[in-house]
Amino acid sequence: MADVIQLLPDSVANQIAAGEVVQRPASVVKELMENAIDAGATKVQVILKNAGKGFIQVIDDGKGMSPRDSRMAFERHATSKISSAQDLFNIRTMGFRGEALASIASVAEVELRTRREEDELGTYLFVADSELKNQESISCSRGTNMLVKNLFYTIPARRKFLKSDNTELRNITTEFLRVALATPEVTFTLANNGNEIFNLPASGLRQRIVNAFGKNINSKLLSVNCETGIITINGFICVPQHARKTYGEQYFFVNNRFMKHNFFHKALTEAYSGLISADMIPSYFLYFTVDPSIIDVNIHPTKTEIKFQDESAIFQIILACVKEALGKFNVIPTIDFDTEDKVDFVAPDVPVIPKVPKVSYNPNYNPFNYSTSISKEDSDFEQGERSHGNSGGNSSQRNHDYHRKEQVPANWDALFAGLEDKPEEVQTVIPEMAEKQEDHQGVISFVQMKGRYIVTPVHSGLMFIDQKRAHERILFERYKETLSHQPAGGQKSLFPETLELSAEDFMLVKDILDDLMLLGFELGEFGKNCYAIYSTPPDLSTSRGKEVLLNLIEHYKNTEGSIRDKMRERIALSLAKAAAMDYNTVLDRQEMSDLFDNLFTCQHPNYTADGKTIIHILKNEDVTQWFK
Ligand code: ADP
Ligand code: MG
């Protein structure tokens, strides 16, 4: 049998390598931007057509290339950045593998225009299919202008896997920001289809962060500076109040290269522990300077993980300097740990029984039985209660439409439906258990506990309701309903607030604008990366529009789904989460009662849409057991 092994042609070898280096337009943007930085550019323009699927152009004013180097640049393992294995331990450039251009040229068409300062004429190259198709001398400005067209035209299967323009663009802005934040001293611009997305002039780090993420972040930044024998750490962390539930503003850089580092991230979460809840993620922009010989960046071409010698020592240093920054700015002392675990029962809101008019409360009222449901307007009792002990403070932020609705579920089944995805080992409250218990005067008591739970006696024991989750569930079902039907008429704002966003968030809002409109938000573009909020959903006061939208964006980020319906559900959930009352919102008796009733008109009162328990009953038997 004849020999069968042969060397792959360059074009095939390059395509295989490209599979690792070039996964999507964002990878090309990253590689070209890094090359521009490595070439000493002071200004880098990124210009896209159709989120890079049309073309990606990166123009820099760096040192440019000679005619020979321009050709060499497209060869595999061709690099000017290292020349021996020893150099691998002293890397100070972004790139060094000499793979990027070769890979890109194997899966796209590339036009290069470049000129060095000392040359009168520059070079034009056209490379496709890993082959040099054309080379000319041209006059052009100093620096390099790379145009990458028809990405993956040689591999239709890969091209088909590219996501929507919006998704690809979001991936690009992620990479763009990583490079732009690594090098604030360089000017960057990013534009897609003629629209400028970022314009980041050369500046200091704080200004770069503000330009990238919006003015709001400025007052949230706490500076971190610390120098030790093995590492120098500079940059900013954000105040605990700025922490979010989704990832987004977590940036580590090592010698000006972006990196992910789960272990060091833990140092951050540890430093913030006690200041933010466990599901919140602090925002940080931390820059490490280390001797390149103590890090190993040579793991994988696209991986952003970097290994360090002595990671546990560095962990301790990060922990100490972040804590110091938090302490220095007096963040820690202002948090009152004492109230955290204290059981502070709000004194029971003893119902005041008005003498005249007489209470017309229906003692037989059963929220599950619609034939006996009453409306707010019918209840004299309500009038008497309203004047009693209101909370002030947050009251304008609450829903005041907790009136009993006519659409109480006609049968018990609704309560059981959709519970398949409930977490294991939790109690499911069945309707009989939830039947309210009146005292001898025919009044049902509600007690608010720890600003979190509504406690009320029910037939089977003592029911605890998580107030925020209950409200979330009520709003979720309402929003979902709205989204599947007709647009909700919003409340017009007399003085429209403006919502200034980062370019990324601005695009995200654009994506979901139609659905926001259905919910009753009316937003108009208002200058760069800014919306004016003309109206808010019916049950959301206009003064909360901005805050709720910001929360909604945070919650919605990184949880993108593909199916439209699911997306609506997600928006409904995000909005419900954002608009639901906060813990520690003091509720009066009537509000608790309304919340209770509204919860039990929901299709699924037991759990929030994301599966968290809303209700728990302390059973009569269990209580009896204590006193045996
Ligand atoms: P690497 O960056 O790992 O060296 P690349 O394939 O990205 O590999 O680039 C190959 C070489 O081409 C670089 O080492 C550099 O000499 C040259 N080069 C690429 N882009 C530019 C640019 N924008 N300006 C000047 N030289 C460049
Ligand atoms: Mg490179």
Largest CA distance in the chain: 108
Statement: residue 248 has pLDDT above 60: yes
- CA dist., res. 192 & res. 129, Å (int): 26
**Closest ligand 1 atom to 97 CA:** 3
Does the beta carbon of 602 lie inside 6 Å of ligand 1?
no
Beta carbon of 66 within 6 Å of any ligand 1 atom: no
Please report, as a single letter, which amino acid is at residue 365: Y
Q: Determine the straight-line distance between the first and last CA of the chain, rounded to whole angstroms.
A: 89
Residue 414 reports pLDDT greater than 50: no
Q: Tell me the CA–centroid distance for residue 24 and ligand 1, in Å.
A: 19
Distance 116 CA to ligand 1 centre (A): 14
pLDDT value at position 266? Answer: 93
- The atom of ligand 1 lying closest to the CA of 60 is 23
Determine the residue of 20, 35, 88 to mutate for testing ligand 1's pocket, defined as the one with the most ligand atoms within 8 A of the Cβ atom.
35
Bond preceding residue 67 cis, omega within 30 of 0: no
Cα 469 to averaged position of ligand 2 atoms, centre (Å): 50
CA-to-CA distance for 214 and 500, rounded, in angstroms? Answer: 7
**How many helices (H) does the chain have, and how many strands (E)?**
21, 22
Q: Is the pLDDT of residue 381 over 60?
A: no
Which pair of structure tokens corresponds to residue 328?
Answer: 């220095």
- Number of Cβ within 10 Å of residue 86's Cβ equals 8
Q: What are the sequence ranges of the domains in the chain?
A: 10-200, 207-328, 429-628
Higher-pLDDT residue of 551, 467: 467
Q: Do domains 10-200 and 429-628 have the same CATH topology?
A: no
Three-state SS at 331: helix
User: Per the structure block, which two tokens stand in for 518?
Assistant: 């259905």
Ligand 1 near 73 CB (within 6 A)? yes
CATH 3.30.230.10 is right for the domain spanning 207-328: yes
143 lines ligand 1 (CB under 6 A): no
CA of 145, nearest ligand number: 1
Atom 17 of ligand 1 has which residue's CA nearest to it? 73
Query: Would you call 134 exposed, middle or buried from its count of C-beta atoms within 10 A (0-12, 13-18, 19+)?
Result: exposed
Mutate to test the pocket of ligand 1, among 101, 113, 125, 140 (most ligand atoms within 8 A of CB): 101
Distance 135 CA to ligand 2 centre (A): 21
% of the chain surpassing 70 pLDDT: 73
DSSP state of 355: S
Tell me if 123 CB under 6 Å of ligand 1.
no
72/562: higher pLDDT = 72
User: 65 CA distance to ligand 1 centroid (A)?
Assistant: 9
Question: Does residue 62's CB lie within 6 angstroms of at least one atom of ligand 1?
Answer: yes
**Out of 126-130, 178-182, 296-300, 391-395, which region has the weakest mean confidence (pLDDT)?**
391-395
Measured by CA distance, the residue closest to atom 25 of ligand 1 is 64
Band the pLDDT of 354: cuts 50, 70, 90.
Answer: very low
pLDDT tens-digit map of 38-83: 999 999 999 999 999 999 999 999 999 999 999 999 987 777 766 6
The pLDDT assigned to 490 comes to 72
Residue 144 in contact with ligand 1 by CB distance below 6 A: yes
* Cα-to-centroid distance, 97 and ligand 2 (Å): 7
Long-range Cβ pairs for the range 67-74 (8 Å, 24+): 67/123, 67/135, 67/137, 70/112, 70/114, 70/123, 70/125, 70/135, 71/125, 71/132, 71/135, 73/101, 73/112, 74/101, 74/102, 74/105, 74/110, 74/125, 74/127, 74/130, 74/132
Q: What is the DSSP string of 563-587?
A: SHHHHHHHHHHHHHHHHSPPTT---
**Mean pLDDT of the chain, nearest integer:** 78
Q: For residues 283 and 252, is the Cβ–Cβ distance under 8 A?
A: no
User: How far, in Å, from the CA of 508 to the mean position of ligand 2?
Assistant: 30
Mean pLDDT check: name the lowest of 201-215, 462-476, 478-492, 571-585: 478-492
Burial class of residue 294, CB neighbours in 10 A (0-12, 13-18, 19+): middle
36 lines ligand 1 (CB under 6 A): yes
Q: What pLDDT score was predicted for residue 307?
A: 84
Question: What does the alpha-carbon distance between residue 302 and residue 95 come to, in Å, rounded to a whole number?
Answer: 11
Task: Give CA–CA dist 149/582, Å, rounded.
Answer: 50
Ligand closest to 58 (CA) is 1
Is the C-beta atom of 39 inside 6 A of ligand 1?
A: yes
| Smallest CA separation from ligand 1 atom 20, residue | 35
Mean predicted confidence (pLDDT) in 415-442: 48
- Ligand 1 pocket residue status of 537, Cβ below 6 Å: no
Q: Does residue 429 have its Cβ closer than 6 Å to ligand 1?
A: no
Cα torsion angle, 558, 564, 569, 575, sign: positive
Least confident of 163-172, 280-289, 506-515: 506-515
DSSP letters spanning 423-460? PTT-PPPPHHHH-B---TTS----EEETTTEEEEEETT
Task: Spell out the residues 6+ positions from residue 561 whose beta carbon is closer than 8 angstroms to its own.
Answer: 567, 570
Instruction: Please tell me the distance between residue 211's alpha carbon and the centre of ligand 1 in angstroms.
Output: 28
Quick one: which atom of ligand 1 is closest to the CA of 102? Answer: 6
Alpha helices in 329-388 (DSSP H): 331-334, 338-341, 380-386
Q: How many CA atoms lie within 13 A of 32 on its CB side?
A: 35
Higher pLDDT, 249 or 161: 249
513 contact partners, CB below 8 Å, separation of at least 6: 523
Among left, alpha and beta (phi > 0; psi -120 to 50; other), residue 253 is beta
- Ligand 1 atom closest to the Cα of residue 103 is 6
CATH number attached to the domain at 429-628: 3.30.1540.20
Q: Which CATH topology does 10-200 take?
A: Heat Shock Protein 90 (3.30.565)
Which residues lie below 8 Å from residue 216, measured CB to CB, with a gap of 6+? Answer: 500
Distance CA 412, CA 550 (A): 38
Is the CB of residue 106 below 6 angstroms from any atom belonging to ligand 1? no
Cβ of 111 below 6 Å from ligand 1: no
Distances (CA, A) of 422 to 419, 604, 608: 5, 11, 10
Residue of the CA atom closest to atom 8 of ligand 1: 98
Predicted TM-score (pTM) above 0.95: no
Q: How many residues does the chain have?
A: 628
Whole-angstrom Cα distance, residue 533 to residue 524?
7
Q: Which whole number is the average pLDDT over 245-262? A: 89
Question: Does any ligand 1 atom lie closer than 6 A to the CB of residue 275?
Answer: no
Residue 201 CA, ligand 2 centroid: distance in Å: 23
Task: Give me the helix-helix angle, 545-556 and 503-511, nearest 10°.
Answer: 90
φ, ψ (nearest 5 deg) of residue 531:
-120, 150
Mean pLDDT of all residues in 310-323: 92
Ligand nearest to the CA of 30: 2
**Cα separation of 127 and 105, whole Å?**
6
Span from the CA of 9 to the centroid of ligand 2 (angstroms): 23
pLDDT at position 495: 78
Residue 57, ligand 1, Cβ within 6 A: no
CA separation for the pair 550, 505 (Å, rounded): 9
Structure tokens at 587: 């509720």
pLDDT tens for each residue of 211-231: 999 888 998 999 999 999 899
